[in-house]
Structure 1
């Protein structure tokens, strides 16, 4: 028994001794040096990537499907001449082609643009800004609004207006001619609000604004033609305003677009065009009247 107990005890003690041994830690290896940071350089586009937007070019495609830029090539004299010729001969997207489109096919332009077929046309918003700028330059050079102011001065002088008031009349019409583009463009959101109220079943506000961009472009083209032909070539005196011309263009082209571009019946197309034109004219007349009488009759020079 004792031997058995001794064996057990020795075994137990051995087991205890084995458990009590401390494990040696593994040897520490030297830390590997960190790789040097590479300088940050923009990654070059892949050979099949667009150099303009870095989009992927389709095999065999001549243009980028994302931004429309042609595949890169070095400029040459032939390419430059082609681009210059393109402005005058390609009627799909040139500014001169767009003139013919808005004058003779406005309903198709509006219908295509609202349907998403926009790539074929010159940017209508950019065209309107250019047309307004040209009309403003012509009006300033011809002193169109200043000559209207002279007629107003004569009429007010006949009714006994004092010299200070007559001077402010001239200043007012000088400012109107100088900032005609700003004034006319500032009225467009109000006109678009009227168009939206009339065409709200067919158009949202942004589409109504675009509708007036097209009609406004037509008006500016006819205004440029009138300024050059009637007042510069023929030499006639300017009328009291351009309101009659704008009203005529609005009624005619809104009817045209309403029938051919929006699919309205003739009575609805004509009636909607008349309502928009009359309300736009009321807005123009009212704001012009407030600005004129507020400056001329109530403005006082300090000192």
Structure 2
């Protein structure tokens, strides 16, 4: 292996292992099958997965600290948070599809006949726009934290990073707990999935309270921080409720009749 004094990519002079202009490595090793397989493939995949697992772990256990580190410039160890969110949303859609297929196979549960009801329109809208709907929670998180935690002196884009890391943690929780719903198709374990209908929302609520509190703990007193976190959760619940009301109202032509929605 030799190191070129001129970058082979941009032809700028180099003195280190990487070009300071374009970032390409300066080593000019000969490409062999052994090097290609063990370095370019195995090494590349390992580092790709390492970045993903590191980011998921950080989002799950210390999202606020990870987001603040990222904002401060410590970014090389993190995989793109928003790509990971989209990946987990897609994975959850796939898991739900598999569970629907299993329900049809084991319990002979078939989709209801298509009707032109508001409930059907709502279901279709949620199904066709699930990624967009879930992703739209991130701006809500960012707007709320930007309004409530102004003393931290972060701009809206930086609050958006914090919100993205928090939402990645939520999607990780949802993905992990969704696996327990496969116990419906096993003997003597079908009591587990109903428990997670309660456990999952509780975990998400606890996760948000703890991690938003820890993220801004150094900026506010215990009382001030507690009030802001409580206000954040309250605002978020009200916003979600408002979005649901607007969606139902739109598809029912603003005639709120629960029988229309659910039949």
TM-score by length of 1: 0.64
Residue of structure 2 equivalent to 1:200: 150
State the alpha-carbon separation in 2 of the partners of residues 97 and 87 from structure 1: 10
Q: 1:206 to 1:50 in 2, by over 3 A?
A: farther
Residue 181 and residue 248 in structure 1: after superposition, are their counterparts in 2 closer, same or farther (change >3 A)? farther
**Corresponding residue of 1:111:** 68
Please state if 1:232 is matched with 2:182: yes
Q: How does 1:107-146 map to 2 (within 5 A)?
A: 107-143=64-100
Structure 1 match to 2:221: 265
Cα RMSD after superposing both structures: 3.3
Give the distance between the partners of 1:57 and 1:135, measured in 2 at CA. Answer: 48
Unaligned runs of 5+ in 1: 1-45, 144-162
1:89-147 Cα distance to aligned partner (Å, 9 max, x none): x4xxx10121112222323312211211212222222222222222233234435xxxx
What is the DSSP-based 3-state SS (H/G/I as helix, E as strand, rest coil) of the residue aligned with 1:142? helix
Residue aligned with 1:76, SS: helix
Q: 8 Å contact 2:142–2:159 — kept in the other structure?
A: yes
Is residue 292 from structure 1 mapped to residue 248 from structure 2 by the alignment?
A: yes
Name whichever structure is richer in helix by fraction.
2
Tell me the equivalent position of 1:169: 119
The correspondence of residues 233-252 of structure 1 with structure 2, limited to 5 A, is 233=183, 235=190, 236-237=193-194, 239=197, 244-252=202-210
Residue 174 of structure 1: CA displacement? 4.2
Indicate if the aligned counterparts of 2:212 and 2:229 stay in contact, CA closer than 8 A: yes
- Alpha carbons 2:122, 2:251 under 8 Å: kept: yes
- Contact 1:55 1:64 survives alignment (8 Å): no
How far off its partner does 1:263 sit?
4.1
2:138·2:163 contact (CA, 8 Å) conserved in 1?
yes
- Residue 132 of structure 2 corresponds to 182
8 Å Cα contact 2:173/2:204 also seen in 1? no
Secondary structure of the 1:120 match is coil
| 1:69–1:280 Cα change, 3 Å | farther
| 2:36 counterpart residue number | 76
Which structure has more relative contact order (CA 8 Å, sep 6+)? It is 2
Contiguous gaps of at least 5 residues in structure 2: 101-113, 184-188, 256-263
1:182 Cα deviation after fit: 0.9
Query: Would you say the 8 A contact 1:140–1:177 is kept in 2?
Result: no
Q: Distance in 1 between matches of 2:202 and 2:240?
A: 12
Aligned length: 227
- TM-aligned CA distance change 1:164 to 1:81, over 3 Å: closer
Residues 232 and 283 (structure 1), Cα distance of their counterparts in 2 relative to 1, 3 Å cut: same
> Which residue of 164, 171, 177 corresponds with 1:220?
171
